[in-house]
Amino acid sequence: MICVALSLATMHGQNAQPHLGTSRTQATDPSRKQFANFLREPLPGNARAQAKPALYNPESLYQYIDGGADIYLLYDFKNLLHQDLKSGAAEVTVDIYEMGTTEDAFGIYAAERSPGYKFVTIGAQGYQDKGILNFFQDHYYVKLSGSGASADTLLDQFARILSGRIGGTKTLPALLAKLPPGHQVPHSQQYVRKDPLGHAFLAPAYIVSYAQGKQESKLVVSVANNPQAAKSRSEQLVKHLKQSGECASAPELGEGGLRARNNYEGRLIARTRGRYLILLLNPSENGAETLKAVAQSLP
Amino acid sequence: MKNEKNWNRREFIVKPILWAGAAGVLAKTQLLSASTTPASAPTPILQRPLGKTGLSLPVVSMGVMNADVPGLVRRAYELGIRHFDTAAVYQNGRNEEMVGRVIKEMGVRDKVVIATKQTSRNHSPITAETKIRFIEGVEASLKRLQMDHVDILYHHAVDSVEDARAEGQIEALQSLKKDGKTRFIGLSTHKTVDVLNEAIRLNVFDVALVMLNCTMTHDSGVLKTIEKAAKSGIGIVAMKTQAGGTTKPDAKLPKALPSVSQTALLKWALNHDFVTTAIPGFSTYEHLEQDFSVARDLAYTHEEEQFLADKVFVANAEFCQQCGECRQDCPQQVDIPVLMRSHMYAVQYQNIEMARQMVASVAPGRGLDACRACESCVAACRNTVHIGRKIAQLKTHEASQLFT
């Protein structure tokens, strides 16, 4: 049986860069060293590698997840370590995605997460379902899957040991903590790096759902570099809304306030606050108060 | 990102018409159908039959994988797009959820053609077990889509002849078709020649989703194989038609692509009449409008002709897919894939430091110095990369700055 550590020493890149496994390259590649450390033995259940681990880069990721790679690339994907292991009758697949920043790792994690999952206290945030356990921590997104007897227990053990080895920060992006918690839909937060709501000019943005009764609203906080840029974003939004539906000024909502509706975004209210453009889609009756509370909470 | 001021003349004409038409009709109805397009629309949307399926599709469809934006799907439908392509692997299934939710909200399930894909990676080598897992995966997709069937179900990412003929997956696809869980079955592939030839031989697939873009201009092997598959009755859906131009242009194409490139590239693919439809992966309203403008007229504008005739673009667009198959054909054992990556960094990224690191990572005796500039590697490249020319460019860099 080839042990994981030995396999990592000859790690190769699924055709994409089969000669990057030379010792010279490894010595200058901190990601490779880091990955080797994550999966060093001992591993839970004395799990053993089933084959050489594979390392994918932005050019080769599509070979592993095909068109699914596109969204990872949007979040500044750097490297993926893929390893199949076996422990007794259980099989485990470990995928560790290294992303550009903590925000990027959270962004791709959140893009694949559903609020309906069973959440677990691993990493900055994680969830478990039958045969899968995914979490993000620092600038890594870890996806574990397994099958066979006691696979779910094994996944939990793997997640905890990987979390310990990854280290770094275990928190959500800072801005999310500042948003009003009342009526927030748990685990609905997202970070959208590119084209939020289908508009390039809104990027990047944080998106959170709020619910009152059966009505669910979507809060979008578009982060510009400065107040002038936020105003420019608002102007572009107004242009889009006027072209595609109705849009009117609403000074009662605060700085740059507006109310609009069309067939795509539906009803929405918005305003600016410093370098932020804040939108609330499908606002409830208390939408104006929510918008105000969000504006006051932002730094 | 494209600014409005950079739009070409055609876009200036088309976009206001489309928006104005939509705004006017939307005031009265929730949704526009293609058949109720306002009178100002200049020509009907081009449609083509999909193999032997009996389906007819607008030439421009929507690859939904890059767009977790319900409004964009609504707008796409409103413009006349009727085919939406998703996959179980996109956003871990969330993409299917979004597509299903929007189609249900709009109440247009019977007016659209929904495709999803099921991968079989990590499946058991045992046929019966693979079949069960594949079917379970599709059942989960249908649940997320809130549909009792899809119209096209692809075996996802079939990148070898062995994958194409895998019994468990084929049995699963046929079983799902028989049970009404999908109307048609197909496969998606990046290994066009081998896999399509096998698909033709197997004669079980209704549709094939294949990569097709102008970087393949001179690759008669790929083009002829796709055409042969179409003639055999397999419906051809094209992907990657814009060669990553909008989502990751830096990786494969020159940095500063003009906006006209996107319509030019899409038209290039669709001007092969063996292609039924393309699934561009736009993620903004702006790009949706731009891509769909192609659906009414595939004739190139003057600007598009100029773009496609640009030899610098064509040369740069030839991208190495790092398959490594050329390596075995090099008599000098040159590490061609790494040198092609070096070229990408040096010439396209202008990142000399990365290029230098890449070149330095090559094993002794297998780098630039080992290349004798013979042309055998050119013939071996299946993606028409002019390896010899790129290595020559690298050597020029070497002389000037790459190793200084």
Q: How does DSSP assign A138-203, residue by residue?
A: TTEEEEEEEESTTHHHHHHHHHHHHHHHH-S-----HHHHHS--TTBPTT--EEE-S-GGG-GGG-
Residue A73 sits in a domain whose CATH number is: 3.40.1000
Complex ipTM value:
0.83
Same domain, A157 and A73: yes
Helices (H), B80-185: 94-106, 127-145, 161-164, 167-178
Please state the rounded mean pLDDT for residues B300-316.
Answer: 80
Give the domain ranges of chain B: 4-311, 320-402
Centroid of chain to Cα A145: 18
Look at residue B256 and tell me whether its pLDDT is greater than 60: no
Contact B392, B373 (CB under 8 A): yes
Beta bridge partners of B187: B155, B208
What residues contact residue B103 under an 8 Å CB cut-off, 6+ apart?
Answer: B73, B84, B109, B112, B114, B145, B147
Tell me: do A161 and A180 sit in the same domain.
no
B49-81 pLDDT, tens per residue?
A: 999 999 999 999 999 988 889 999 999 999 999
pTM (two decimals) = 0.79
pLDDT at B237 over 70: yes
If asked whether residues A64 and A184 sit together in one domain, one would say no
Task: Identify the CATH homologous superfamily for domain B4-311.
Answer: NADP-dependent oxidoreductase domain (3.20.20.100)
Same domain, A145 and A205: no
Share of chain B above pLDDT 90, in %: 49
Claim to verify: residue A29 and residue A161 sit in the same structural domain: yes
* Rounded mean pLDDT, B249-265: 67
Q: Do A113 and B92 touch (CB under 8 A)?
A: yes
What integer is the mean pLDDT of B83-101? 94
Q: Which amino acid is at A26?
A: Q
> How many helices (DSSP H) and strands (DSSP E) are in chain B?
17, 10
Q: What is the reported pLDDT for A250?
A: 97
| Interfacial A residues in 122-181 facing B (CB < 8 Å) | 134, 145
B126 shares contact with chain A (CB less than 8 Å)? no
Instruction: Write phi, then psi, for A268 (nearest 5 degrees).
Output: -155, 155
- Our count of domains for chain A comes to 2
Which of 280-299 (A) contact B at CB < 8 A?
none
Q: What is the pLDDT of residues B129-164, one digit of tens each?
A: 899 999 999 999 999 999 999 999 999 989 889 999
Residues A151 and A179 placed together within one structural domain of the fold: no
Cβ atoms within 10 Å of B112's Cβ, excluding its own: 19
Residues A212 and A91 in one domain: no
Q: Which residues, including other chains, have CB under 8 Å from residue B309's CB and lie 6 or more apart?
A: none
**Which of A133, A166, A199 is the last residue before a domain boundary?**
A166
Query: Residue A69 is part of which domain span?
Result: 4-166
Kindly state whether residues A53 and A97 are assigned to the same domain: yes
Query: Does residue A249 sit in the same domain as residue A162?
Result: no
List pLDDT tens digits, range A258-293: 999 999 999 999 999 999 999 999 999 999 999 999
Indicate the average pLDDT of chain B. Answer: 81
Using a pLDDT cut of 90, give the percent of chain A over it.
73
Residue A58 preceded by cis peptide, ω within 30: no
Q: What is the pLDDT of residue A162?
A: 97
> Does the distance separating the beta carbons of A111 and B26 come in below 8 Å?
no
Q: Tell whether A152 and A9 lie within a shared domain.
A: yes
- Which of A142, A166, A190 is the last residue in one of the domains? A166
Residue A28 is predicted with a pLDDT of: 34
Residue B6 burial by Cβ neighbours in a 10 Å radius (0-12, 13-18, 19+): exposed
Confidence band, pLDDT 50/70/90 cuts, at residue B382 = low
Q: In what order do the strands lie in the sheet with A266-273?
A: A190-192, A205-212, A215-223, A276-281, A266-273, A258-262, A245-249
Question: Does residue B254 carry a pLDDT above 60?
Answer: no
What residues contact residue A132 under an 8 Å CB cut-off, 6+ apart? A143, A144, A145, A146, A155
Examine the domain organization and report whether A103 and A244 are in the same domain. Answer: no
**Interface mutation vs chain A, best among B32, B62, B94, B328, most A CBs within 10 Å:** B94
Q: Which residues of chain A have pLDDT under 70?
A: 1-30
Asked whether residue A204 falls in the same domain as residue A155, the answer is no
Tens-place pLDDT, residues A182-203 = 999 999 999 999 999 999 999 9
CATH number at residue A256: 3.40.1000.70
A224-250 burial code (b ≥16 CB/10 A, e <16): beeeeebbebbebbbebbebbbebeeb
